[in-house]
Each structure stands twice: as structure tokens, then as C-alpha cells.
Chain A
């Protein structure tokens, strides 16, 4: 089959064949790796299973990271959501609590799926499991959604980056939100064009986001950011499903992300020398944990 190196190429093939993004990404993966489509789907089903387990474990009370900086907030948000005191409705509350849950599991040395990275691992499970429930999706549809998410992420990785050290948090959490948005659209019955618009809309929202983790740990601000990105991915998916389009085409948004990443100073690309890591409190935490600023 033709290569899928850009969103434009994806939409061209989808236009010719009438297939969903997930089917096209699945076909490409099978062709490129020599695995059968069933094998690829089985491997992705295992991935989905790990995501579910990480959500379930992360929502239990008492989670604490190795450093002690994070943990317990997923449970807090979920419990407060049940009382009806929060502003978000149950759907958004669940998506955000799940995203937090997985990110907290990651910080606590739990088992997670890097999606695309460990620091952004809560966004896809938070969004896709919750959207999946809302639209009555089964296992098969969720596996397809993960294929779509991974396919969009691959295009972003090929043309920009999914590494915070290379391009800041926009490349990690921003990419995860874009991937989740595109996949959520497919779960909700949207077209490939709508998935592409959702990807662009979500990614645009996170352009310029820096990677400045306190004490060099994947915790502050990473864990809570997973919840924000999950919410934004759902907003982007909803806009795209409503017919909203990104004025800047998806491939150009991805290129802009790369340009912005290249322009970011090293201090804001996972070195913990700037931003939140360089605040008085950030430095104090680093000193207390490691005896070095």
C-alpha cells in the first residue's frame, strides 16, 4: 500500500478506499512488520488490557510515588465527583480521574503503557476508555481506537517529535492529546477528516508547552497535566465531531510543533534547569530529595 507519512496521505487513501483510519494503520503495520492483522490486533488488545489494569489500580486510595511528591489525587477527584460537588459532569470527571490514575501509577512504579511516553501515559486510557463507555464501544472498537491513536502518533513522531527532551511537553502530552482526540472521533463515529481536524485542534492547544519537571522527576507538573490533556482531547474531539475545522491544516500544525520544539531553549526541554524546576520551591524539592539543586 501507499505510505502513510503525513495526515494528508492518510486522508487521500481514506478518500479512495472509504476505510477508517484504524483499518489503514492496521494494514500498514501488518505490511511493514510482516505480522498478520490478527497478530497486530492481539498485541494491541494486550496493550488495552494493561491500560485498563493501570486505571483500576490507580483509582484505589493510597497511591504514593517513590519520591512522595504525587499520588492520591486520582482517588480524590473520583470521590469528590461521586458526591456531585464538582463542576465537571460525570463523564469528564471519569476521564480526568482515569488519566490521573494512570499517571500516578507511573510515578509509583506501577505497570503502564507509554503512550506515547511514560510521562503522558494517562491521556489515552483516560479518554478512550471513557469515550468508549459513553458510546457503547466493545473491545474490538477500543482496539481500533488505539490503532488510530498510534497511527496519528506515528505521523507526529515522523514529522515532529514525541520526546520531551527534543521538543518539550508539547511533543509528549500534546501529542498524546492529539492522538486521543483523533481516536475519540473514530470511536464516536466521526470520519477520518474529523479525526484529522481533532488531531490538529488538540495539538494546536498545546503548542509551546515546555518540559520543566521538578527535580527531573516525571511527576510535577506531569501527573496533573495528564488530566488537563485528557479534557482538552475530548473538547477537540467534540469540536471536530460538530464540524469545526482547524484553520491551519493538521500537517502544518505538526510542522509548527517541530519548529517550536527546535526553538525551545535546552533549559525547557527536560533538563530541569528552567521553568517550574527552577522556581524556589522546585529547587527546594530537588535539594530535599537529592541534595543538589
Chain B
């Protein structure tokens, strides 16, 4: 723990968990879509759904979807700014108690102008920190503390070395990584957290590898 974890972050109020954390979740979701969203269906759960309005959680999350940071004073007007930017947002809160869900959590389905879609679930875990728990149909776990590079691929031998080989060529250092798969030889997902962002060219090289279906990335928030 460092001094700026105690006096900080600089943020838009009123709540680090319900406002700053919601911005971070929106930012990561936008990054994973890989383009500005034009449609968003946002489902808040638990305390996000019950007290989110008074905390500006809706404005904070949408601000994040627009690419704003947690200290951006435009956050309070983000719902209007979203309309101006051509982003249509539907809120679909789930106010029921769900013991298996984190109380401050959200699932968002985003669609970009190109038609690309992504579904992201995550939770705000306090102090503005967040955890992304699901991307599309894959259970994952990352915080946005590092740059994130996600590779969707077929579960075949040698995948990890081919992907990490491309990252090594571009000088990207891997902080940690994990591979998840649906079943042997089936769909799999590589979750790679890196110190440097993966540049678009490297991402394209990885996407072009045999048995790779696609990639997603998000800079640290």
C-alpha cells in the first residue's frame, strides 16, 4: 500500500465504489469492445441497482463507456453527452438479492458501429478498484491494474507459445496469464496481463494466427 492509495484517488464523488469503480468498469467494457459503443444495455445488480441513482452510478458507468476517467467533471452530464455522441443506453436494473453476485456489480452488452458485440460483467470491490469476472461466455478474472490482452482460440497444442512469441517480438512483457477452455479441443480463451499495451499491429498478427478467432484488449484503467 502506498501513500496515494490513502490520499487519493482524485475522483468525482460521491462514492469510490459506486462512482469511481463504475467509471472503471465502463472504461474497461468500452476497451474490450474495441470501438465506441452505439448501443449499450446495462444491468446493475444489488446495491448498484438499489442506490446507484443517488450515487450517479448510471452516469459514472456511461461516462466510462464514453472513455471518461474517474476524475472527469463531465461525468455528471454523461447521459446527455452519450446521446450527443450517438450512444443509446438502456438500463435494466436487477434489484433482487442475488447471493452469488457481488453487491456492486454490472453486466453490460455493448454494440459498436461495426456491429461488433461484447458482453462484460464486473464488480466494484472498493476504493475505485474493480474486477472483471466474465467476458462473453468466458469466466475470467482481471482488475484493470495491468494492460489486458484476450485471445479467443481453439484449444490446440502450441497456442500459448505462438501467441506469446508474437508478444515477445513486440517487446511486450507478460505480468501474468491464464488459459481457460470450454472443453478439450474446443473453444478457449487466453487472458494475458501485460506491463505494456499490445499495439494494434501485434494484435492483428495474433488475430491472424491459425486457430485464433479474435482478440480484445484494454489498457490499464
Task: Please list the residues of chain A having a beta carbon within 8 angstroms of any beta carbon in chain B.
Answer: 25, 29, 32-33, 40, 43-44, 46-47, 50, 65-67, 105-119, 121, 124, 146-147, 149-151, 153-154, 157-158, 162-163, 165, 179, 215-219, 272, 289-290, 292
Question: Which of A32, A47, A108, A217 contacts B7 (CB under 8 A)?
Answer: A47
Interface residues of B in 98-132 (CB under 8 A from A): 126-128
Question: Which of B3, B13, B53 contacts A150 (CB under 8 A)?
Answer: B3
User: Is there an interface contact between A114 and B126, defined as CB atoms closer than 8 Å?
Assistant: no
User: Is there an interface contact between A290 and B53, defined as CB atoms closer than 8 Å?
Assistant: yes
User: Is there an interface contact between A218 and B15, defined as CB atoms closer than 8 Å?
Assistant: yes
Question: Which of A44, A65, A111, A289 contacts B12 (CB under 8 A)?
Answer: A111
Quick one: closest A residue to B53, CB to CB? Answer: A290
Cβ of A69 to closest chain B Cβ, rounded Å: 8
**Residues of chain A lying within 8 A (CB to CB) of residue B1:** 154, 157-158
Interface membership of B54, Cβ < 8 A: yes
Interface membership of B161, Cβ < 8 A: no
Interface membership of B202, Cβ < 8 A: no
Cβ of B66 to closest chain A Cβ, rounded Å: 15
Interface membership of B144, Cβ < 8 A: no
User: Is there an interface contact between A114 and B8, defined as CB atoms closer than 8 Å?
Assistant: yes
Quick one: closest B residue to A124, CB to CB? Answer: B7
CA–CA, A150 and B3, complex, Å: 5
CA–CA, A108 and B15, complex, Å: 11
| Interface segment out of the listed B26-34, B70-78, B147-155, B177-185 | B70-78
CA–CA, A113 and B9, complex, Å: 6
Quick one: closest B residue to A105, CB to CB? Answer: B13
Cβ of B67 to closest chain A Cβ, rounded Å: 17
CA–CA, A218 and B51, complex, Å: 10
CA–CA, A29 and B4, complex, Å: 9
CA–CA, A251 and B53, complex, Å: 40
Interface residues of B in 1-43 (CB under 8 A from A): 1-16, 19-20
User: Is there an interface contact between A216 and B50, defined as CB atoms closer than 8 Å?
Assistant: yes
User: Is there an interface contact between A67 and B54, defined as CB atoms closer than 8 Å?
Assistant: yes
User: Is there an interface contact between A113 and B8, defined as CB atoms closer than 8 Å?
Assistant: yes
User: Is there an interface contact between B54 and A114, defined as CB atoms closer than 8 Å?
Assistant: no
Known: A25-B3, A109-B75. A118 touches B50 (CB 8 A): no
**Residues of chain A lying within 8 A (CB to CB) of residue B55:** 66, 216-218
Question: Which of B9, B53, B56 contacts A114 (CB under 8 A)?
Answer: B9
User: Is there an interface contact between B8 and A118, defined as CB atoms closer than 8 Å?
Assistant: no
**Residues of chain A lying within 8 A (CB to CB) of residue B47:** 216
Cβ of B75 to closest chain A Cβ, rounded Å: 6
User: Is there an interface contact between B14 and A65, defined as CB atoms closer than 8 Å?
Assistant: yes
Quick one: closest A residue to B59, CB to CB? Answer: A109
**Residues of chain B lying within 8 A (CB to CB) of residue A165:** 126
Q: Which of B9, B15, B50, B73 has the most CB of A within 10 A?
A: B15
Cβ of B42 to closest chain A Cβ, rounded Å: 17
Question: Which of B76, B127, B128 contacts A163 (CB under 8 A)?
Answer: B127
CA–CA, A215 and B53, complex, Å: 11
Known: A67-B54, A215-B54, A289-B54. A118 touches B7 (CB 8 A): no
| 15 further contact pairs, Cβ within 8 A, besides A215-B51, A216-B47, A218-B14 | A44-B7, A47-B10, A67-B54, A110-B12, A111-B71, A114-B7, A114-B9, A114-B10, A114-B20, A121-B13, A149-B7, A162-B6, A179-B6, A216-B51, A219-B14
User: Is there an interface contact between B54 and A66, defined as CB atoms closer than 8 Å?
Assistant: yes
**Residues of chain A lying within 8 A (CB to CB) of residue B162:** none
User: Is there an interface contact between B2 and A157, defined as CB atoms closer than 8 Å?
Assistant: no
Known: A29-B3, A158-B1, A218-B55. A290 touches B11 (CB 8 A): no
**Residues of chain A lying within 8 A (CB to CB) of residue B126:** 163, 165
User: Is there an interface contact between A114 and B50, defined as CB atoms closer than 8 Å?
Assistant: no
**Residues of chain B lying within 8 A (CB to CB) of residue A121:** 13
Cβ of A107 to closest chain B Cβ, rounded Å: 5
Quick one: closest B residue to A163, CB to CB? Answer: B126
User: Is there an interface contact between B3 and A118, defined as CB atoms closer than 8 Å?
Assistant: no
**Residues of chain A lying within 8 A (CB to CB) of residue B73:** 110-111
Interface membership of B83, Cβ < 8 A: no
Question: Which of A47, A118, A153 contacts B19 (CB under 8 A)?
Answer: A118
A sample of 29 inter-chain contacts (CB < 8 A) reads: A33-B2, A40-B3, A50-B10, A65-B54, A106-B13, A106-B14, A109-B12, A109-B76, A110-B13, A111-B11, A111-B13, A111-B71, A112-B11, A113-B7, A113-B8, A113-B10, A113-B11, A114-B128, A116-B6, A116-B7, A147-B3, A150-B3, A150-B6, A154-B2, A154-B5, A154-B6, A218-B55, A289-B54, A290-B53
User: Is there an interface contact between A32 and B2, defined as CB atoms closer than 8 Å?
Assistant: yes
User: Is there an interface contact between A119 and B6, defined as CB atoms closer than 8 Å?
Assistant: no
Q: Which of A33, A117, A165 has the most CB of B within 10 A?
A: A117
**Residues of chain A lying within 8 A (CB to CB) of residue B9:** 113-114
